[in-house]
Structure 1
């Protein structure tokens, strides 16, 4: 077999190849041997960096959370530049749209990140990446409530995550899954939630959620 991989970061190449394969099939059927073929290295090469398929999938999930964090931070940065920090409800709905869009554009990756049994949630890199992805949502809810609001932040997360999973699993009617209609629904539902939590009394602290 002719090797296509000659130098550089093999670990990163393997993770990137696995993510590419997830565009085509669920994580449960992506194996180390297939990932090695995609990179162009021997079937033994991945074991230099990953002890098992589960280790590789944990790294892939962490990369997924990093990508989600980048997307949500871009919303936060763009909003601050545009002065939308004065409109926390609009900011929270924009984050909700971005979250749902990411989950639908990366269905198998999102499934691995949140629902596959393989990656161990206690893995430090995975936990750190997940927390980074959660931070923009926490900041938006804090701005909306004018205080750290742990329960309300979890509620906002559950809301947008639930909508994304319902859409991905085709549990919503066909018209609601149309991109423009889905974005409109996310806006309306998140805005209604935001109006409610903005007037709720304080309950709970600012302990880490993820």
Structure 2
């Protein structure tokens, strides 16, 4: 665990950084507010100036994570260029890249049990990230006749579930989770099967 500590006058962010380390090391339910305070080099009472409790702290970690996640997805989507299919696949790869690079944020967002509506900041950030996924799904599904087209929210939820499953099983390098294929290969194959089932790409 890195000992960033509280040295620059921003206690709130120092606690977020401490929580990120603790979440990555112990999981989102494996640490206490006292441990976060100790890691930030402040008294056990100090965190309560900014957070009501651990859930409130984790919600802030998740909100900051969703902001980064949305930025990563928007960059990958690139306005749907060079094509809806290429952009959609880029978004899927970006999902895996985010989980790999920001494990503490990812766990706070998806594994803490914190509702995306826990705080206004978290709700706003998660809505922005989900909007990128829905936009990518909607743009790609325009080729399907309207009466057979799945709702964009359902389409993006299917891909998110597939991506999350691959992250959980194969992206973190836990013992026993090795696969003869990379997470990116698994996701690409899974997306391909899904899109073929919808008639969006050929069966070749």
- Short-chain TM bin: 0.7 to 0.9
Q: Distance in 2 between matches of 1:137 and 1:166?
A: 22
**Structure 2 unmatched runs, 5+:** none
| Deviations, residues 20-73 of structure 1 (Å, cap 9, x unaligned) | 333322122222222222222222111100111111111112222222112112
TM-score by length of 2: 0.77
Cα distance change on mapping 1:171 and 1:161 into 2, 3 Å: farther
CA distance in 2, matches of 1:131, 1:198: 29
Report how far residue 16 of structure 1 moved.
Answer: 1.9
Alignment correspondent of 1:174: 179
**Which residue in 1 is equivalent to 2:156?**
153
Please report how far the alpha carbon of residue 102 of structure 1 lies from its aligned counterpart in structure 2 after TM superposition.
2.1
User: Does 2:44 match 1:43?
Assistant: yes
Distance in 2, Cα, partners of 1:10 & 1:143? 43
Higher-RCO chain (CA-CA 8 Å, sequence separation at least 6): 1
Name the SS of the counterpart of 2:117 in structure 1: coil
Tell me how many residue pairs correspond in the alignment: 187
Query: For the Cα contact (< 8 Å) 2:93–2:184, is it kept in 1?
Result: yes
Correspondence 1:1-210 to 2 at 5 A: 5-77=6-78, 80=79, 85-117=81-113, 119-123=114-118, 124-146=120-142, 149-167=152-170, 168=172, 173-176=178-181, 181-197=182-198, 199=200
Matched residues in 1 for 2:73 and 2:155: separation? 18
RMSD after superposition: 2.7
Question: Is the 2:20–2:105 Cα contact (8 Å) retained in structure 1?
Answer: yes
Runs (5+) with no aligned partner, structure 1 = 200-210
SS of alignment partner, residue 81 of structure 2: helix
